Amino acid sequence: MLCKKYFNNKKIPVEFISFSSGESVLAYTEKIDLILLDIEMKGIDGLEVKEILRKQNKNSSIIYITNHEELIKPAFGKNVYGFLTKPFHEDELYRILDVICKDRINQKLIQIDSNTWVKKSEIKYIKAEDKYCRFYTIDMEYLIRCRIRDMEDLLQGNDFHRIHRSYIINFKYVKKIAQKIMMDDNTVLPYSRNKKEQIINSYNAYLIDNAW
């Protein structure tokens, strides 16, 4: 499967699901990030699926597949990233997937080197080690040659905070803040004393934003 090959090469973790009809796509209740959708299907066709998803405020990216170029024009619309006319070459698909990765997947994943992508939500903390950064995630460690300042810029947002010249933490995994910061796995991390008030205020803001 070309999509699987693409994402495996990028080391982007994804789940693939096959649907037998437009009705089965619409009946699926979990979030779908990307749909390769045949325009011509029995029952609800690909054009109707797009319109129903739009009305439901679903934000799935769509790549249409068709045998008939005359169907391309009416298929244009929100979240439609491209069209593939059968038979198509893998390079055509990969060009569209590159655009989708840039626009959508990078909102959830970060590329920490040329071969490694990690979910932002699974990064617990980052520790600077000379010219490297060690990433601690929920199930792996990665040692990457990079500057912690660059990671601080990349992870901008209220989930992550630079607590020390050598540490960035994800507030999601903080257990408590006292003389030091204890993470949910009982790892204890230092923080800069002159940043204490800022860290506590940022952590409280994070808790409020994620209270519901």
24-67 confidence digits (pLDDT tens): 989 888 878 888 888 888 888 888 888 888 777 677 888 888 87
For 37, 54, 96, 105, the CA distances from 198, given in Å and listed in that order, are 48, 41, 42, 31
Amino acid at 154: L
Q: Is 62 within 8 Å of 80 (Cβ atoms)?
A: yes
pLDDT for 75 equals: 66
> Average model confidence (pLDDT) for the chain?
85
pLDDT for 169 equals: 97
Q: Is the pLDDT of residue 129 over 70?
A: yes
Distance CA 112, CA 129 (A): 15
CATH of 112-209, one of 3.60.20.10, 2.60.40.10, 3.30.565.10, 2.40.50.1020: 2.40.50.1020
For residue 156, name the pLDDT band (cuts at 50, 70, 90): confident
Domain spanning 2-107: which CATH class is it, in words? alpha beta
CB under 8 Å to 155, separation ≥6 — which residues?
A: 110, 120, 123, 168
